[in-house]
């Protein structure tokens, strides 16, 4: 499971002053993924989607549009793997 510290490192931030904003961004990403059927799914692909979402929202390396596209493509692919309402989510 992805932590604030993991995401801070992924964003290459050294200070913990933005930890609350990072947590809020993680929460927003999880809610957005849940809207596509990924409720309580915890795996490397979902973690990567959250990382891409964070890089998009933090405009990492001034490439927000690229990270938005990458996030949306991964979210769409995950929605195919985890259709809404499907109980078995072991991949």
**Any domain includes 87:** no
**Any domain includes 89:** no
Distance of CA 86 to the CA centre of its chain: 20
Predicted local distance difference test score (pLDDT) of residue 91: 46
pLDDT category at 89 given cuts 50, 70, 90 is very low
**Any domain includes 9:** yes
Query: 51: Cβ–Cβ under 8 A, 6 or more apart, which residues?
Result: 2, 7, 10
**Any domain includes 29:** yes
Ordered alpha helix ranges (H), the chain:
4-10, 19-34, 44-57, 64-81
**Any domain includes 88:** no
**Any domain includes 20:** yes
Residue-wise pLDDT tens digits, 10-65: 999 999 999 999 999 999 999 999 988 888 888 999 999 999 999 999 999 999 99
Number of domains the chain is built from: 1
pTM of the complete model: 0.88
Domain residues for 51?
4-81
Specify whether the backbone of 85 is left (phi greater than 0), alpha (psi in -120 to 50) or beta: left
Residue 77 predicted with pLDDT over 60:
yes
**Any domain includes 76:** yes
């Amino acid at each position: 499971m992805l932590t604030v510290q993991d995401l801070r490192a992924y964003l290459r931030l050294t200070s913990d002053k933005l930890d609350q904003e990072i947590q809020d961004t993680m929460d927003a990403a999880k809610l957005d993924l849940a809207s596509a059927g990924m409720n309580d799914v915890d795996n490397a692909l979902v973690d990567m989607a959250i990382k891409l979402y964070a890089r998009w929202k933090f405009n990492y390396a001034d490439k927000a549009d690229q990270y938005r596209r990458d996030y949306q493509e991964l979210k769409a692919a995950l929605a195919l793997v985890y259709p809404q309402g499907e109980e078995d989510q072991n991949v």
